[in-house]
């Protein structure tokens, strides 16, 4: 107990240093930094109320969490904190259509002893649709601040897990002392993925598709049975409690959509195939390969949140004596890169109103990716709509947020310069009417960032030489960690010529460094989670591959600067 308490206090001390910089608001703040007022007025700003609807030199007033006035000549309440909006652009807060923001990845379920692989317990099979994402949400999850500082105010957060992890919720990306206070609405989705159970049924897409049909059909029967019994139990066998089936009832009633994490085109078609057979409301989240799917998406009435993750732009070889074949291969690779980055504009032209999903992307890449998408044909207004109005419509919350109008939630972004200008910077983000302020960089050289970063991050930042041994042999390479505006980022490269991988979900706390990455193993994406402790220049960690129920040690030493 003592130990826990100690760690907790240290956490309190460290947290404001890590990523909560300049934040003047906290609701039950033991340091006494609660704001003096919850009334704000931003004056003389360019207000983009909704895509295409712009007011110059306007004022917006936010009172107790809501937008209470917006216009050129509005009364500023006497108790308002007035913020000068000169040179500032105000936008509705962005809405993330599908992410794990705020959720803490639980430990992978342990393989039970004497596992009967054809029929594993639901917890191991990953069939837990009765779970709610709030069980995983932690108020101090780094991702909340990371997404907020790039302009997101609402996230449709889905739980971690396998085939059917549970239902998602809409959360406000605000500071709070309890997860309940983040919730905008629960039961927003039943979340589904093509992730099999390691070495047990359903193990892959084959089993997942069949199991899904089986579960759905039995849920329909179970629902009929329960309703029959409820209407008059006499002479009817009593239905047994079945929370898995019950979780499907709102889906069957079309009160809850199924959000399918379908990143590639074949997965998207499989999800639409299930929708066609079973007739539920389908939302494709995280779609990364949609350029051939416009017709199917439209004819099936499927809703879409496009991924904000983009492939890296291919770099052609600079060698002079390239063979014609290499040139052709490079051209075709570029042709496909273009398909990835221009599909957003194409789907828009095809009449598909999509939102964005950040689930596979890093928060500090989102703006760059948006700009790339805009360079490749999506207009700024269309991009803004995808971030705000479209997403609000698709999630059914356009009556409370998505535009800047009186009466709506005080979710907004104040940016110095137009947001879609490369050089623009976010100065304030308001979530639920609370102000989060960010330091503007003054154009000074980037190296100064390092000085501003929390001291303890220094232990990680830099280049590391790693080594690990698997049955395939010993692998060596470099990991490079950077501080990008207060967020740890990392790239892992291998000496055997495998393409570099971005490290995800990097966290460093109390000398513990954890991160994960995915590698492509013969067409199957395999997630590897690395957890370990940094002691001076040594990193001693364990990597686990849940898909194969396999762990191996990994060591790294920090390179001399």
Partner 1 sequence: MIKISSFFILFLCVSALQAQTKKGDVLIKNGTVITITDGTLENTDVLVRNGKIDRIGKNLKTPNGVEEVDATGKFVMPGIIDAHSHIAGTSINEGTSQVTAEVSMEDVVDPLDVSIYRALAGGVTSIHLMHGSANVIGGQNETLKLRWGSTNPEDLRFEGAPRTIKFALGENPTRGGRSRGIQPQSRMGVEAMLRNTFNDAIKYRDAWNAYRSNKSSRKVAPEYSLRMETMVDILEGEVLVHCHSYRADEIYMLMKVFSDFGIKRLTFQHANEAYKVAPELAEFGASASVFADWWAYKLEVYYSTAYNAAILTENGVTTSINSDSGELIRHLFHEAAKTQKYGDLSDNQALALITLNPAKQLGIDNRVGSLEKGKDADIAIFDNHPLSIYAVPQMTFVDGVKYFDIENDVADQRIYIDPESTVEDVQILYANDHDRCMEDANVVNFTDLFNNK
Question: Site mask, partner 1, residues 475-514, x = CB under 8 A?
Answer: ----------------------x-x---------------
**Residues of 228-249 as b/e, b for ≥16 C-beta within 10 angstroms?**
eeeeeeeeeeebeeeebbebbb
Among 82, 209, 244, 491, indicate the residue that binds partner 1 (CB under 8 A). Answer: 209
Binds partner 1 (CB under 8 A): choice among 280, 336, 550, 552: 336
337 is a contact residue toward partner 1 (CB under 8 A): yes
In angstroms, the CA 152 to CA 109 distance is: 31
Dihedral of CA atoms 420, 424, 429, 435 in degrees, nearest 10, equals -150
Coil, strand, or helix at residue 63?
A: strand
Minimum gap (Å) between residue 293 Cβ and partner 1: 9
> Would you count residue 237 as binding partner 1 (CB under 8 A)?
yes
Binding status of residue 124 toward partner 1 by CB under 8 A: no
Q: How many residues bind partner 1 (CB under 8 A)?
A: 60
> Residue 323: helix, strand or coil by DSSP?
coil
Spatial distance between the Cα atoms of 252 and 223, rounded to a whole number of angstroms: 9
Among 334, 491, 509, 526, binds partner 1 (CB under 8 A): 334
The residues, any chain, with a CB within 8 Å of residue 27's CB and separated by 6 or more, are 34, 175, 176, 177, 181
Per this entry, what is the length of the chain? Answer: 561
User: Does residue number 333 form part of the binding site for partner 1 (CB under 8 A)?
Assistant: yes
Site for partner 1 contains 28 (CB under 8 A): no
Contact status: 452 vs partner 1 (CB under 8 A):
no
CA distances (Å), origin 266, targets 194, 215, 361, 402: 11, 22, 20, 31
Rule CB under 8 A: which of 262-301 touch partner 1? Answer: 265-266, 269-270, 273, 289, 292, 296
CB of 213 vs partner 1, minimal distance in Å: 6
* Shortest separation between residue 164's beta carbon and partner 1, angstroms: 16
| Tokens matching residue 2 | 């003592």
| Angle, alpha carbons 344-205-186 (nearest 5°) | 65
Of the ranges 138-146, 152-160, 214-222, 416-424, which one interacts with partner 1 (CB under 8 A)? 214-222
Contact 58, 46 (CB under 8 A): yes
CB of 301 to partner 1, least distance (A): 15
Mutual angle of helices 265-278 and 205-231, in 10-degree steps: 30
Q: Which residues bind partner 1 (CB under 8 A)?
A: 114, 116-119, 197, 199-207, 209-211, 213-214, 217-218, 221, 224-225, 228, 232, 235-237, 265-266, 269-270, 273, 289, 292, 296, 311-314, 316-317, 323, 325-326, 328-330, 332-337, 340, 497, 499, 523
């Amino acid at each position: 107990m003592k130990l826990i308490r100690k760690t907790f206090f240290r956490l309190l001390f460290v947290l404001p240093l890590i990523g909560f910089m300049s934040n003047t608001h906290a609701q039950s703040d033991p340091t006494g930094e609660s704001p003096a007022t919850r009334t704000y007025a931003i004056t003389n700003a360019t207000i983009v109320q909704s895509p295409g609807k712009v007011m110059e030199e306007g004022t917006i007033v936010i009172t107790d969490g809501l937008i209470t006035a917006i216009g050129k000549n509005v009364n500023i309440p006497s108790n308002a904190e007035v913020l000068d909006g000169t040179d500032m652009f105000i936008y509705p807060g962005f809405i993330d259509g599908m992410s794990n923001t705020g959720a803490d990845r639980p430990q992978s379920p342990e393989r039970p002893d004497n596992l009967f692989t054809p029929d594993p317990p639901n917890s191991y099979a990953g069939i837990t649709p009765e779970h709610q994402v709030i069980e995983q949400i932690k108020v101090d999850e780094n991702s909340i601040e990371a997404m907020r500082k790039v302009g997101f105010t609402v996230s449709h957060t889905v739980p971690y897990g396998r085939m059917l992890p549970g239902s998602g919720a809409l959360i406000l990306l605000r500071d709070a002392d309890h997860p309940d206070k983040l919730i905008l609405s629960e039961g927003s989705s039943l979340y589904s993925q093509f992730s099999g159970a390691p070495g047990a049924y359903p193990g892959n897409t084959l089993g997942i598709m069949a199991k899904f049909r089986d579960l759905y059909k039995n849920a329909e029967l179970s629902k009929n049975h329960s309703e029959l019994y409820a209407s008059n139990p006499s002479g009817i066998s009593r239905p047994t409690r079945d929370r898995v089936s019950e979780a499907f009832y709102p889906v069957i009633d079309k009160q809850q959509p199924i959000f399918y994490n379908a990143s590639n085109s074949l997965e998207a078609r499989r999800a639409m195939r299930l929708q066609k057979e079973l007739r539920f409301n389908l939302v494709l989240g995280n779609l990364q390969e949609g350029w051939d799917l416009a017709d199917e998406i439209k004819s099936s009435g499927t809703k879409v949140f496009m991924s904000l993750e983009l492939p890296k732009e291919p770099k052609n070889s600079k060698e002079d004596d390239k063979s014609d074949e290499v040139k052709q291969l490079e051209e075709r690779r570029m042709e496909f890169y273009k398909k990835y980055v221009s599909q957003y504009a194409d789907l828009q032209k095809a009449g598909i109103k999509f939102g964005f999903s950040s689930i596979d992307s890093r928060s500090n890449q989102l703006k760059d990716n948006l700009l790339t998408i805009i360079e490749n044909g999506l207009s700024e207004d269309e991009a803004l709509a995808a971030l705000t109005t479209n997403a609000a419509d698709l999630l059914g919350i356009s009556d409370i947020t998505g535009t800047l109008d009186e009466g709506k939630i005080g979710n907004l972004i104040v940016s110095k310069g137009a947001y879609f200008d490369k050089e623009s910077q976010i100065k304030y983000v308001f979530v639920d009417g609370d102000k989060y302020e960010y330091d503007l960089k003054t154009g000074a050289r980037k190296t100064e960032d390092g000085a501003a970063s929390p001291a303890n991050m220094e232990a990680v930042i830099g280049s590391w030489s790693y080594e690990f041994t698997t049955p395939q042999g010993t692998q060596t390479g470099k990991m490079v960690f950077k501080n990008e505006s207060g967020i740890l980022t990392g790239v892992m490269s291998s000496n055997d010529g495998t393409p570099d991988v971005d490290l995800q979900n990097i966290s460093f706390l109390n000398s513990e460094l954890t991160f994960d990455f995915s590698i492509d193993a013969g067409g199957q994406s395999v997630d590897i989670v690395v957890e370990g402790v940094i002691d001076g220049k040594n990193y001693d960690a364990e990597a686990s591959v849940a898909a194969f129920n396999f762990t191996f040690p990994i060591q790294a030493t920090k390179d001399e600067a």
